Chain A
Amino acid sequence: MEYLPNIIFAVALILGIGFFARNVKKLSRNIKLGKDVDVSDNKSKRWKNMARIALGQTKMVVRPIAGIMHVIVYVGFIIINIEVLEIILDGLFGTHRLFSPLGSIYDFLIGSFEVLALLVIVAVVVFWIRRNIIRIQRFIKPEMKGWPKTDGNMILYIEFVLMILFLTMNAADFQLQQLGAEHYHEAGAFPVSQFIVPILDGLSESSLILVERTAWWLHILGILAFLNYLYYSKHLHILLAFPNTYYGKVKPQGQFNNLESVTKEVKLMMDPDADPYAAPAEQDTGEPEKFGASDVMDLNWVQLLNAYTCTECGRCTSECPANQTGKKLSPRKIMMDTRDRLEEVGKIMDANKGEFVSDGKQLLNDYITPEELWACTTCNACVQACPVSIDPLSIIVEMRRYLVMEQSAAPTELNNMMSNIENNGAPWPYNQMDRLNWVNE
């Protein structure tokens, strides 16, 4: 019986990490449903982007309040996780504060964790107020109803509770150390939790141990639960922000990719020596290539990674000229829809032994409407605003390509514009022979 807690702990740990590993596998399978894309270029620029944008949080602080609060939560989270390592080892070996032989360094570490925990609590409260009391515009757009709203708050509650548990655990521990309780040798400094101690005043040693153990267990179980919550949440960003900023666009924002499949066909059409009756190469490999995207599998895997990384912060949408003038388009919704559809596709695959079976739905129309797609001015404001290097515009363009090239479903005025280009080399119905008239007018 003596080792029961250690065993329970080990089982919880294995289950927690095991489930997480399963989610990671699913995540990686879903992302790989996307088309291949060459991202082997510009390695040093990519590393720099990751260091600057994710690690250095440079684009977060463009909005100073949200940015600084987030830096606190982010730094707090990473550093406090050093403590989690000790908690895990203590749990496995039944030790108490395993790292305490570090002496004054240990005191300093625990002291800093406490201060950070307090700062995180402050930041989380500010975040909550911004979402629920001030109701900042970008958090209350139509796509934020339901789960996204709950998710946004849930995270804050989890962080809050975890930090309170951490401090409570320390306070009880501190009190026990003062009382000279067995097993609770003196270690650590408690600049914050000492103020919680008076609340615990008068509790017997066994009650204190109960408080300390409960807080300890809830804290570590909470962290394991949080780890498994990530996959279902916009909080996946705490992991994916790093690869996503690495794979983010490194070309000038105005540069769109040239579809290679189109290049092949256009070259064939323009080559006077080409044999018009020769079978197109694609037919050897099966069906002809589809132009543009109508579903998530037509997007590339970086675009799908983008969708899982999105923090739903709405900075993109709040900078979008179409959204600002009341159009339906919201670049954040483009990302959320892509993720939702990808999840749906993943679930269908789970239910069919890894095979995708059409459910009669797709990203186009069932999630994203042409009205949204046609409202985009391709201005790149959303790309510029995104603090984690997401490119909603590339998805919009890929879907327009499908509408135009596979379905000939452009708005009438645009069809007119395009036939003008085909016929007279200008988007207006003017004669190419009049191109130089401006000189003498």
Chain B
Amino acid sequence: MSEQLKVKTMQEFMAEGKQPEILFWVGSAGSFDDRAKKISRAFVKLLNKANVDFAVLGTEESSTGDVAKRAGNEFLFQMQAMMNIELLNGYEIKRIVTCDPHSFNTLKNEYPSLGGNYDVLHHTQYLKELIDNGRLTITGDGYKGKRITFHDPCYLGRANSVFDAPRELLAKTNAELVEMKRHKKAALCCGAGGAQMFKEPEKGDMDVNVLRTKGALETNPNIIATGCPYCNTMMTDGIKAYEKEDSVTVLDVAEVLANSQGL
């Protein structure tokens, strides 16, 4: 167990009669997946460092229903969405930040017509805002000389046109950013989307994550950075397929920032 993180739930805020600045939507992966939990922790370390008054829903949080929707189960999606909206509206939530582009996309785009209207940000956008406002400073040259390539998550990049925030954050560490041949709007999927994460792939001659990792490795990176827990898993598996675990690491942008500050 490492140093104590400061995390308060909405219930605690309510008990104190206060409103948080933001709600951190942790998401199912960020709550339960061993690798993704580390991303949640890294993001919270940065929030703590910037003294952000944030809340989580804790045990009241439930799946956004996103993956059910992509799988075609509109019923389950809307059930989850309406339940979550009831909770969020009850707490009068205004601003939501999440590390998961899938939650980001559905909360931002698909919840409004069901009655959930919030200002939704991806954590890279929010971290950039903190830096721009001078609340968070990134210093040091720990990453100088390191080559980082950023893999655009489909639901952050192509789907919602967020391309710059993660790249600007990575640049703050003075690392050397190298682009893959297919990046930004033309980025290749990691293979996890559309509920593929939860099933075996159909018959083919290769796995999508291996193909994407090939593209990433062509840039000779030290680090493959991404902004999605599912991409993270897929790229990590891809690195294993190429037996490059010793020379290349897969990190979330929040982890790169937290590491660079020795958090």
Q: Does B195 contact A (CB under 8 A)?
A: yes
Q: How far is the CB of A327 from chain B (nearest CB, A)?
A: 4
Q: Does B227 contact A (CB under 8 A)?
A: no
Q: Is the CB of A255 within 8 A of B65?
A: no
Residues 400-441 of chain A: 1 if any B CB is under 8 Å from the residue's CB, otherwise 0? Answer: 111111000011011011100110011110101111111111
Q: Which of A322, A399, A400, A401 contacts B202 (CB 8 A)?
A: A322
Q: Which of B4, B62, B110, B207 contacts A425 (CB 8 A)?
A: B62
From A323, which residue of chain B is reached at the shortest CB distance? B204
From A291, which residue of chain B is reached at the shortest CB distance? B74
Q: Which of A255, A377, A404, A405 contacts B191 (CB 8 A)?
A: A377
A255 to B113: give the CA distance in the assembly, Å: 11
A292 to B77: give the CA distance in the assembly, Å: 14
Q: Does A1 contact B (CB under 8 A)?
A: no
Q: Is the CB of A252 within 8 A of B109?
A: yes
Q: Does A384 contact B (CB under 8 A)?
A: yes
Q: Which of B1, B160, B208 contacts A377 (CB 8 A)?
A: B208
Q: Which of B7, B72, B202, B211 contacts A324 (CB 8 A)?
A: B211
A319 to B83: give the CA distance in the assembly, Å: 37
| Residues of chain A in range 196-255 having any CB-CB distance to chain B below 8 Å | 251-255
From A264, which residue of chain B is reached at the shortest CB distance? B78
Q: Is the CB of B198 within 8 A of A436?
A: no
Q: Is the CB of B208 within 8 A of A422?
A: no
Among B131-139, B181-189, B239-247, the one that faces the other chain is B181-189
Q: Is the CB of B109 within 8 A of A255?
A: yes
Q: Which chain B residues border A259 with CB–CB below 8 Å?
A: 74, 78
Q: Is the CB of B63 within 8 A of A427?
A: yes
Residues 262-274 of chain A: 1 if any B CB is under 8 Å from the residue's CB, otherwise 0? Answer: 1101110110000
A371 to B201: give the CA distance in the assembly, Å: 10
A374 to B201: give the CA distance in the assembly, Å: 9
Q: Which chain B residues border A434 with CB–CB below 8 Å?
A: 31-32, 59
From A432, which residue of chain B is reached at the shortest CB distance? B59
Q: Does A150 contact B (CB under 8 A)?
A: no
Q: A255-B110, A425-B63 are known contacts. Are A375 and B74 too (CB-CB below 8 A)?
A: no
Q: Which chain B residues border A374 with CB–CB below 8 Å?
A: 199, 202
Q: Is the CB of A421 within 8 A of B76?
A: yes
Count of residues in B whose CB is under 8 Å from the partner chain:
72
| Residues of chain B in range 192-241 having any CB-CB distance to chain A below 8 Å | 192-196, 198-208, 211-212
From B104, which residue of chain A is reached at the shortest CB distance? A254
Q: Which of B28, B41, B155, B158 contacts A384 (CB 8 A)?
A: B158
A252 to B80: give the CA distance in the assembly, Å: 22
Q: Which of B109, B185, B206 contacts A254 (CB 8 A)?
A: B109
Q: Which chain B residues border A417 with CB–CB below 8 Å?
A: 67-68, 71, 195, 198-199
A397 to B212: give the CA distance in the assembly, Å: 24
Q: Does B154 contact A (CB under 8 A)?
A: yes
A329 to B202: give the CA distance in the assembly, Å: 9
Q: Is the CB of B72 within 8 A of A410?
A: yes
Q: Does B258 contact A (CB under 8 A)?
A: no
A113 to B210: give the CA distance in the assembly, Å: 51
Q: Which of B41, B44, B155, B201 contacts A375 (CB 8 A)?
A: B201
A386 to B68: give the CA distance in the assembly, Å: 27
Q: How far is the CB of B9 from chain A (nearest CB, A)?
A: 7
Q: Does A328 contact B (CB under 8 A)?
A: yes
A308 to B36: give the CA distance in the assembly, Å: 44
Q: Which of A325, A375, A425 contacts B211 (CB 8 A)?
A: A325
Q: Is the CB of A436 within 8 A of B202?
A: no
Q: Is the CB of A321 within 8 A of B199?
A: no
Q: Is the CB of A379 within 8 A of B105?
A: no
From A375, which residue of chain B is reached at the shortest CB distance? B202
Q: Which of B37, B71, B192 contacts A404 (CB 8 A)?
A: B71
Q: Which chain A residues border B4 with CB–CB below 8 Å?
A: 440
Q: Does A256 contact B (CB under 8 A)?
A: yes
Q: Which of A251, A253, A411, A438 contacts B41 (CB 8 A)?
A: A438
A420 to B190: give the CA distance in the assembly, Å: 24
| Residues of chain B in range 148-168 having any CB-CB distance to chain A below 8 Å | 154-155, 158-161
A377 to B207: give the CA distance in the assembly, Å: 12
Q: Does B93 contact A (CB under 8 A)?
A: no
Q: Does A326 contact B (CB under 8 A)?
A: yes
| Residues of chain B in range 43-100 having any CB-CB distance to chain A below 8 Å | 44, 56, 58-59, 61-63, 65, 67-76, 78-80, 82-83
Name B's A-contacting residues (CB within 8 A). 1, 4-5, 7, 9, 26, 28, 30-33, 37, 40-41, 44, 56, 58-59, 61-63, 65, 67-76, 78-80, 82-83, 105, 108-110, 113-114, 154-155, 158-161, 185-186, 188-189, 191-196, 198-208, 211-212
Chain A to chain B contacts (Cβ below 8 Å), 29 pairs: A252-B160, A253-B159, A266-B78, A266-B82, A292-B74, A321-B212, A322-B202, A325-B201, A328-B202, A328-B203, A375-B201, A377-B196, A380-B159, A381-B158, A404-B73, A405-B73, A410-B71, A410-B72, A413-B198, A417-B195, A418-B73, A421-B65, A425-B28, A427-B63, A436-B9, A439-B7, A440-B1, A440-B4, A441-B37
Which 8 A/B pairs are nearest by Cβ-Cβ distance? A254-B159, A400-B72, A425-B62, A378-B194, A326-B205, A326-B204, A379-B189, A255-B109
Given contacts A417-B199, A439-B44, 10 further A-B contacts (CB under 8 A): A255-B110, A374-B199, A378-B70, A400-B71, A411-B199, A418-B71, A425-B61, A432-B62, A435-B32, A438-B31
